Amino acid sequence: MTTTEKPRTPLVEMRDISIAFGGIKAVDHVTIDLYPGEVVGLLGHNGAGKSTLIKCLSGAYQADGGDIFIDGKKATITNPRDARHYNIETIYQTLALADNLDAASNLFLGRELVTAAGLVDDVRMEAETRKIMGRLNPNFRKFNVPVSALSGGQRQSVAIARAVYFNARILIMDEPTAALGPHETQMVAELIEELKAQGLGIFLIEHDIHNVMKLCDRASVMKNGQLVGTVNVKDVTDEDILGMIILGKKPGQAA
């Protein structure tokens, strides 16, 4: 399906993935892949199956059929912990933050830093959080309040910090800019460029076609649970991609 030849092994290959909920095929034999240092956009209408597909990779769902390969080796991902072992980090659309906990507790949730006695080391976690937030969002000051007291952008930066802190190799971003203002959107865009330069592979679920054209190297379009096709973004126009999303037709095919 890919339009260019790549000699390297893909970082991730999701091959022939299917998943159904009560007879409805949410994802129907979809194959996508991702190379290091690349941003692949996942596009489609609401309900096209993008989030469901990606949740098979992040461990939130288990596929009914198909295989996932990481670095060319078959990977078994049955829960979010497995995904984290493969250095797959996810920024969910809902951000998946525990609103009653502060930024540091959320950042390290499930992977707390502990003292020699095995107790949670809040002070060290706060220090680490101050460090990474100083890099991602220098204006961030609210370290000791529940994240429910933060603005949308601040919450987003906590979720992003969580994904970045643990040396992700594969990053999944589910509409990371949906709730953000223009300035913060620009910050996320710069971050994506920076992470890409570091050699991460990024799956980006995105509705805004301009962001896709700007940020993504390739785009995989889904419709009704099936893959319409994957294109090189620089070889197509935004209208071509819109046509794939709306009509389910690959560019070059008669509409």
Partner 1 sequence: MTQTTSHPSAASAESGPIGRFLKATEIDTRLVGMVGALVAIWVGFHLYGLIVNGTGVFLTPRNLWNLSVQTASIGIMACGMVLVIITRHIDLSVGSVLGFTAMVMGITQVWILPQWLGLGHPLIWLITGVVGIAVGTAIGAFHGWLVAYRGIPAFIVTLGGLLVWRGAAFLLARGETISPVDAHFALIGGGPYGSIGAIGSWVVGLIVCAAIVWLLVAGRRQRKKFEFPLRPMWAEYTLGIVGCAVMIGAVLLVNAYPWPRGIVSQYAAAQGIEVPEGGLFISHGFAIPVLVLACVGVVMTFIMTRTRFGRYVLAIGGNPDAAELAGIDTRWMTVKIFALMGFLTGLSAIVASARLNSATNSLGQLDELYVIAAAVIGGTSLAGGVGTIYGAIIGALVMQSLKTGMVLIGFDAAMQDIVVGVVLVLAVYVDKLYRSRAK
Which residues are at the interface with partner 1 (CB under 8 A)?
Answer: 58, 60, 79-81, 84, 90, 92, 94-101, 105-106, 109-112, 114, 118-120, 123-124, 126-127, 130, 141-145, 149
Nearer Cβ to partner 1, position 46 or 94? 94
Identify which of residues 111 and 135 has a Cβ nearer to partner 1 in the complex.
111
Are the beta carbons of 174 and 90 closer than 8 angstroms? yes
Q: Report the nearest approach of partner 1 to the CB of residue 128 (Å).
A: 10
Instruction: Report in angstroms how near the CB of residue 248 gets to partner 1 at its nearest.
Output: 31
Phi-psi bin for 162: left (phi > 0), alpha (psi -120 to 50), beta?
A: alpha
Q: CA neighbours within 13 Å on the CB side: how many for 71?
A: 6
Least separation in angstroms between CB 151 and partner 1:
12
Q: For residues 47 and 110, is the Cβ–Cβ distance under 8 A?
A: no
Q: Is the Cβ of residue 6 or residue 85 nearer to partner 1 in the bound state?
A: 85
Q: CB count, 10 Å around CB of 216?
A: 25
Q: Which residues of 73-83 are buried (b: 16+ CB within 10 A; e: fewer)?
A: eebebeeeeeb
Is the CB of 118 or the CB of 182 nearer to partner 1? 118
- Under 8 Å between Cβ of 150 and 69: no
Residue 176 vs 229, nearer CB to partner 1: 176
- Closest to partner 1 by CB, 83 or 227: 83
- Compute the least distance from the CB of residue 209 to partner 1, in Å: 28
Alpha carbon dihedral 27, 30, 36, 40, in 10-degree steps, equals: -70
Task: Please state the closest distance from residue 140 (CB atom) to partner 1, in A.
Answer: 10
- Name the minimum Å distance from CB 77 to partner 1: 12
Rounded to whole angstroms, the Cα distance separating 188 from 194 reads 10
For residues 78 and 198, which CB has a smaller minimum distance to partner 1 in the complex?
A: 78
CB 54 to partner 1: min, Å? 12
Alpha carbons within 13 A on the beta-carbon side of 122: 6
Q: Which amino acid is at 66?
A: G
